[in-house]
Amino acid sequence: MTTERVPAAAAVQLLTPEGERVPHPDYDISLSDDVLRDLYRDMVLVRRLDTEATALQRQGELGLWAPCLGQEAAQVGSGRAMHENDFAFPTYRDHGVAWARGVAPLEILAMFRGVTNGGWDPIRKRCAPYMIVIGNQALHGVGYGMGIQLDGAEEAVVAYFGDGATAEGDVNEAFVFASVYNAPVVFFCQNNQWAISQSQERHSRVPIYERAAGFGFPGVQVDGNDVLAVMAVTAHALDRARSGDGPTLIEAYTYRMGAHTTSDDPTRYRHANEVEVWRLRDPIERLKVFLARQGIADRAYFDVVEHEADELAILVRDGVRSMPEPSIDAIFDNVYAEPHPLMEEQRRTLHAYEASFADGAGA
Amino acid sequence: MTTERVPAAAAVQLLTPEGERVPHPDYDISLSDDVLRDLYRDMVLVRRLDTEATALQRQGELGLWAPCLGQEAAQVGSGRAMHENDFAFPTYRDHGVAWARGVAPLEILAMFRGVTNGGWDPIRKRCAPYMIVIGNQALHGVGYGMGIQLDGAEEAVVAYFGDGATAEGDVNEAFVFASVYNAPVVFFCQNNQWAISQSQERHSRVPIYERAAGFGFPGVQVDGNDVLAVMAVTAHALDRARSGDGPTLIEAYTYRMGAHTTSDDPTRYRHANEVEVWRLRDPIERLKVFLARQGIADRAYFDVVEHEADELAILVRDGVRSMPEPSIDAIFDNVYAEPHPLMEEQRRTLHAYEASFADGAGA
Amino acid sequence: MTQLTMAKAITAGLRKAMEDDPKVVLFGEDIGRLGGVFRVTDGLQKDFGEHRVMDSPLAESGIVGTAVGLAMRGYRPVVEIQFDGFVYPAFDQIVSQVAKMHRRTEGLLMMPIVVRIPYGGGIGAVEHHSESPEAYFTHTAGLRVLSPSDPQAAYLTIQQAIACDDPVVYFEPKRRYWDKGDVDLSIDATDLAQVPGPWRARLVRRGTDVTVACYGPMVRTCLEAAEASADVSLEVIDLQSLSPLDMDTVVSSVERTGRLVVVHEATANGGLGAEVATRVTERCFYSLEAPVLRVAGFDVPYPPSRLEEHFLPNLDRVLDAVDRAMAF
Amino acid sequence: MTQLTMAKAITAGLRKAMEDDPKVVLFGEDIGRLGGVFRVTDGLQKDFGEHRVMDSPLAESGIVGTAVGLAMRGYRPVVEIQFDGFVYPAFDQIVSQVAKMHRRTEGLLMMPIVVRIPYGGGIGAVEHHSESPEAYFTHTAGLRVLSPSDPQAAYLTIQQAIACDDPVVYFEPKRRYWDKGDVDLSIDATDLAQVPGPWRARLVRRGTDVTVACYGPMVRTCLEAAEASADVSLEVIDLQSLSPLDMDTVVSSVERTGRLVVVHEATANGGLGAEVATRVTERCFYSLEAPVLRVAGFDVPYPPSRLEEHFLPNLDRVLDAVDRAMAF
Ligand SMILES: Cc1ncc(C[n+]2csc(CCOP(=O)(O)OP(=O)(O)O)c2C)c(N)n1
Ligand SMILES: Cc1ncc(C[n+]2csc(CCOP(=O)(O)OP(=O)(O)O)c2C)c(N)n1
Ligand SMILES: [Mg+2]
Ligand SMILES: [Mg+2]
């Protein structure tokens, strides 16, 4: 059913699956030990957040969860490559990106609990709300980038989407607009090889990064499980964008280790051994091995991070359970920014109706 | 405002603007004298049809006309490359395509006169009705091609669109679907360098044919004013399609000599000298010179064709003026294939209402 | 008679239609091996092959646009839109092409396309997964729109939709997918001498005081309301065909009861309720004892799931409207 | 006072809005050097530069989707859709993003986007150039919808739409683009102490027997019908704000006249007329002498231009409905 798939030979890699640092002519990057340790920490914490969320969904505390298991390097690496003023446009699965933008764990979970359709302040975090309609946000990213240009600011955008999304008209129109306006946008495609049950061949018969050239800007494939390479390639593309050299498409070749969402049953469409193969390419393990071998981090450090993760798990579990329920007024709040007669009328109606039960005056 | 634009060096050419036959390693084609003469005749007649239609619009006999002036080689060359059972999906400007599919001149004009939104039998002519919503027909072509595959037939599709259309999501989704299903489709893009007032740079910063590679199929640019090259390249792509080798994107580099439509005023956005330059690359002249030099046709033949064109003009003028007006029943006819209560009710209402005037019984 | 969920009844109807006509092909995201996210196409790819049950790329305009081409080639494509909120990328192809191609070609091309859309709320989903966009399609001339309310109706109407030479947007009430009911699989859905066609409303409960018109997911809600209504006798009509509307059935009921409440999940403003109310009022002006009242979603984007119980019409809100109609 | 066509009045309004607020940017196909196919943006690129009046690629979803991003960055994009029939490729971005982003972010992001759409028939155009798709947008919670009917209203409401922090779909009645009228350019459109806001209906002609509610291109038609109506006195209301509807103005008129005819070019089934009729009937049940009647497009795709005079509501069809309302 599925033959084993690996990144193209051209894919940028700085860290082998075995945790060995390899040089690269274009994308070599030298990161401080602090940054390297932080990347590790980020990935561990994001994974714990993800695992806890999956568990909470099983317990009925969340309506749904879209796990990012296996994609931590792609998300954290690109998210951490952004400058503070850059702006991210993530999808429902990009918890590592939201994390890197400083979105609080409970803000990330709020939508999945069903108390909001957003969760955080997009302007303060410089991170758009998760987008669910596949591909829409690619155009938002380009428009935002055009705004950066109009402002003459040195900022850039990262627009995230999946391999499946590359089939949508919106993503391709985003390529056109970004190219024509030379917008400061990095298109970051996480090719996790699956769009729900459909494998990547259903969406392209050539590697996704090759799509870019035909729209007039560079495309590059990166080992999406190699956080260093992802960070290097994204930082490079962001620099290009900020300095007026226009868009780049990055294809981060990775793998969705978990189900599409907690509603999904991947055993219906893929073999378990495919997952096993990718377990050997785990993004966290490979950085851990590298850190340990290089003496950048030791067991004590790993234990601290583990402990932090445990604390995060507690915070998440408790926080989710005690998340305030939205009030029924929230149904009508912020539908419009300015006064609207129907909102007032229907708000009154609903209040009166609900009150009729409180009074014991119901039908 | 506009620098002179020419086809890329890679563009396939078999006939120089001066009418000289040049060889080509991949696309050489040898056509009988009959075919060569017919191509000339087709182009002359299509041009006359086009000129007459423009005049008829000026006289108020047509509501609108979209001239194909200057694009005759692209349209006739590709249209004549099709086999009888192949299927064309043209746009509002592709009169040379419709002509090549055997659509009658008055059938072509009917929509522009406002008596129908179609005009001919798409199944019999194997030519879809003109599409006005930019890009929609590219997907229809792919779907039809998928049907050909399901039938196991040796047929193919040519889906037409313009340079501007390449920005639309639908056209890019068509590339995705055609590639993934390996559908027998030739995408034929007439890059006439303008989408109404917007020059081709507004839609792509690289040559359009390069778009194909990123979707996993070949793209080729052809001198769109060279009917031989267009025919050769299209025939080749159709052969590929019919034999299961999948889609091709052809960019026919040409020029819209006239206004976008009779409602348009191109002096607002382009210099007359640009048009002058392209007049020297006229597709009909260059074939005529070639035919004459090679002794394939002589003045007598050219006169016969000229005479035919005069007759066509008369047929068109008379035919348009005497085209039957649609009956008011046509408002309700064929909205649905099966009986529909609202149609019956509203048809009755309208009849009764119109009758009330006939009776002198109006309000 | 077999006990089937609505989802399985639709599967059975699709299977039957595919057996009856080799031109019927299924097309959509994840409908093949996975059987669709709601498993409605479960097993069909296995039995009919990959060429008749095709996983499509993730592009709704592409799905519907290629279906138009397949229809031009003589196929009868049944496409699945994964959720209500994802039909909008296909809106252009549906409105400009699917709905108009037959008219454009003066009847020479047919568009026997079925667009299946699981719709409506009540399943605790995230944004875009609980919408009721049917009014966009009922307002579009050239389309027909159906919504079944129980397994037997689903089994029959999906086949009738496929057999219909016009395009049909087929709204499946997703929160009723798992409701079970008796289904007679031996009925020949397309033998209109034996069974009624799908384009009619169904009187699903007789009553005398107030007519309640509803469809899809709200039919069960309204039947429950009718059961719960002690003093007021409710007549419940399942509209089923949202376009064309079968007004005769509604009008003849209202002529008897003198009162009408229309119920749907879709937002009120410009929803189907307004059309039903306007037509009924025109035809029953002198028999109406009260204005037609609507029970519908509030005019807001579908709220986060923890609020949907307040947003969705329920038994109590139906009875509240009934009371108001009676008190008028 | 200046005599201006409606097209020029909108140009003047756009110009004023751009002068007042540097965040206002224009975006659309052919709006730059050409000034738009209807010349509504004529001269603006010359005066404000290519960065504020941008020609866009030919892709409507792209136009609206990038406008969303521009709005997130603090801009107030005014986008032009070239013709009514070409808004559908942008439908997804409008319904799922423009209409919902403010709600989704709990008010933190605003979407002050104006989508300008020349709409309606009567200009002898080919297919897709004469449609009236407003009901798709009025049914969409989160959007506001306006349609001006004369140059003065156009001058003011386009500025008010741009100043509004909510997204506005702005329908310009294209066959009235060339109608002239007096325009007072000195009025400050956004000083709501001086001028009324745009969200209200306008009583454009007093009368006593039948209220006629209409908007956009039909206002002139209905005023002409009122002039022509010898025996029956018509009160004409220009709804202007199609969402939200200003029902108070309509209701208070109907309470006086007892009769209402709603007129629009859009197809009847599920059109705005149904909503107006339903709400008026609910509020005026005891004052109505006749059911609310609709004069609207037939429920068919817009016909070829040689048939449009039979399709479009005209003076006679309005009077015919008035007669039927009187005879009820
Ligand atoms: C327009 C649209 N169509 C369908 C869906 C349903 N859907 C949700 S996720 C998904 C697959 C997405 O695949 P991909 O782009 O590869 O992202 P991934 O989920 O793998 O991260 C689909 C089809 C949707 N959300 N939006
Ligand atoms: C979806 C859509 N948007 C806008 C238009 C209006 N329009 C008609 S032709 C045209 C330009 C098309 O340019 P191109 O694709 O290059 O084809 P050409 O007219 O040059 O043959 C535009 C914008 C349309 N018909 N459809
Ligand atoms: Mg994926
Ligand atoms: Mg062009």
Min Cα–Cα distance to chain B from D198, Å: 32
**Which residue is catalytic, options C51, C102, C128, C129?**
C129
Residues 173-192 of A with CB under 8 A from B: 173, 176, 179-180
A278, A248 contact by CB (below 8 A) = no
Nearest atom within ligand 1 for CA of residue A191:
16
C214, C171 contact by CB (below 8 A) = no
Q: Which amino acid is at D253?
A: S
Q: Which residues of C181-191 are buried (b: 16+ CB within 10 A; e: fewer)?
A: bebeeeeebbe
Q: Regarding the domain delimited by B33-326, which CATH topology (the fold level of the hierarchy) does it fall under?
A: Rossmann fold (3.40.50)
Q: Using a 6 Å cutoff on CB, does residue A105 contact ligand 1?
A: no
Tens digit of each residue's pLDDT (9 = 90 or more) over B55-68: 999 999 999 999 99
Residue partners of B300: CB distance under 8 A and separation at least 6: none
Show residues of chain D in contact with C277, CB under 8 Å: 274, 277-278, 281
Q: Using the 8-state DSSP alphabet, how is residue A91 labeled?
A: B
Residue partners of A329: CB distance under 8 A and separation at least 6: A347
- Mean pLDDT of all residues in B285-298: 97
Q: Using a 6 Å cutoff on CB, does residue B134 contact ligand 2?
A: yes
Min Cα–Cα distance to chain B from C90, Å: 10
Residues of chain D under the 70 pLDDT cut: none
Q: Using a 6 Å cutoff on CB, does residue A93 contact ligand 1?
A: yes
Which pLDDT band holds residue B359 (cuts at 50, 70, 90)?
low
Q: Using a 6 Å cutoff on CB, does residue A315 contact ligand 1?
A: no
D202-326 is classed CATH 3.40.50.920: yes
Examine the pLDDT at B4 and tell me if it is beyond 70. Answer: no
Could you tell me which residues of chain D have a Cβ less than 8 Å from any Cβ in chain B?
A: 29-30, 32-35, 37, 55-59, 61-62, 85-86, 88-89, 124-129, 269, 298-301, 303-307, 310-311, 316-317, 319-320, 322-323
Ligand in closest contact with the CA of A164: 1
Interface contact D166-A336, CB threshold 8 A: yes
Share of chain B above pLDDT 70, in %: 98
Nearest atom within ligand 1 for CA of residue A200:
16
Tally of CA atoms within 13 A in the half-sphere of B67 that contains its CB: 25
Interface contact D69-A180, CB threshold 8 A: no
| Pairing assessment for the beta strands A198-199 and A194-195 based on DSSP bridges | antiparallel
Which pLDDT band holds residue B10 (cuts at 50, 70, 90)?
confident
- Which helix (H) or strand (E) element contains residue C24? strand C24-28
Residue partners of C258: CB distance under 8 A and separation at least 6: C287, C288, C289, C290
C305, A63 contact by CB (below 8 A) = yes
Residue partners of D116: CB distance under 8 A and separation at least 6: D10, D28, D40, D78, D79, D80, D81, D158, D170, D172
ipTM: 0.98
Q: State how far the Cα of D296 lies from the Cα of B356, in Å rounded to an integer.
A: 19
Residues of chain A under the 70 pLDDT cut: 1-4, 359-363
Min Cα–Cα distance to chain D from B57, Å: 12
| DSSP codes joined into one string, B88-139 | EE-BTT-HHHHHHTT--HHHHHHHHHTS-S--S-HHHHTBPPPB-STTHHHH
The more confident residue out of A356 and C205 is C205
Residues 117-176 of A with CB under 8 A from B: 166-170, 172-173, 176
Q: In terms of pTM, does the model score above 0.95?
A: yes
| DSSP codes joined into one string, C148-184 | --SHHHHHHHHHHHHH-SS-EEEEEEGGGTT-EEEE-
Min Cα–Cα distance to chain A from D323, Å: 33
Interface contact A118-D106, CB threshold 8 A: yes
| DSSP codes joined into one string, A202-241 | GT-SS-GGGGTGGGTS-EEEEETT-HHHHHHHHHHHHHHH
pLDDT of residue B363: 41
Q: State how far the Cα of B303 lies from the Cα of D301, in Å rounded to an integer.
A: 46
Q: Which of A117, A150, A337 sits opposite D110 (nearest CB)?
A: A337
Chain centroid to Cα C159, Å, comes to 14
pLDDT of residue B358: 78
The answer to whether residue D271 neighbours chain C at the CB level (below 8 Å) is yes
- Mean pLDDT of all residues in B227-239: 98
pLDDT of residue B360: 56
Number of Cβ within 10 Å of residue D272's Cβ equals 31
Q: Regarding the domain delimited by C2-183, which CATH topology (the fold level of the hierarchy) does it fall under?
A: Rossmann fold (3.40.50)
Contacts made by residues A3-11, CB under 8 angstroms, sequence distance 24+ = A4/A274, A4/A277, A5/A193, A5/A200, A6/A253, A7/A221, A7/A222, A7/A223, A7/A224, A7/A253, A8/A207, A8/A221, A8/A253, A10/A221, A11/A221, A11/A222, A11/A223, A11/A253
Ranges in chain D annotated CATH 3.40.50.920: 202-326
CA proximity to D29, closest of B164, A263, A157, B214: B164
| B137 alpha carbon – ligand 1 mean position (Å) | 25
Pocket test for ligand 1, best of A64, A72, A134 (most atoms within 8 A of CB): A134
- Identify the three-state secondary structure at position C76: strand
A74, A278 contact by CB (below 8 A) = no
pLDDT of residue A357: 85
pLDDT of residue B1: 36
Q: Which of D126, D299, D303 sits opposite B346 (nearest CB)?
A: D299
Pocket test for ligand 2, best of B69, B75, B117, B134 (most atoms within 8 A of CB): B134
CA proximity to B285, closest of B4, B59, B18: B18
| Pairing assessment for the beta strands C24-28 and C2-5 based on DSSP bridges | unpaired
Preceding omega of C244 cis (within 30 degrees of 0): yes
- Mean pLDDT of all residues in C183-198: 94
Preceding omega of B341 cis (within 30 degrees of 0): no
Ranges in chain D annotated CATH 3.40.50.970: 2-183
Show residues of chain A in contact with B170, CB under 8 Å: 169
CA proximity to B38, closest of B105, B99, B104, B128: B99
Q: State how far the Cα of B198 lies from the Cα of B195, in Å rounded to an integer.
A: 5
Ligand in closest contact with the CA of A66: 1
Show residues of chain C in contact with A197, CB under 8 Å: 30, 32-34, 55
- Mean pLDDT of all residues in C97-109: 98
- Mean pLDDT of all residues in B144-171: 98
Show residues of chain C in contact with B185, CB under 8 Å: none
pLDDT of residue C227: 98
A109, A64 contact by CB (below 8 A) = no
| B134 alpha carbon – ligand 4 mean position (Å) | 11
Residues by chain with Cβ below 5 Å of ion ligand 4: B 162-163, 192, 195
Tens digit of each residue's pLDDT (9 = 90 or more) over C229-247: 999 999 999 999 999 999 9
pLDDT of residue B25: 95
- Identify the three-state secondary structure at position B328: helix
Interface contact D270-C139, CB threshold 8 A: yes
Nearest atom within ligand 1 for CA of residue A203:
16
pLDDT of residue A358: 78
Q: State how far the Cα of B218 lies from the Cα of C105, in Å rounded to an integer.
A: 33
Show the CA angle centred on residue B318, arms to residues B315 and B320, nearest 5°.
Answer: 100
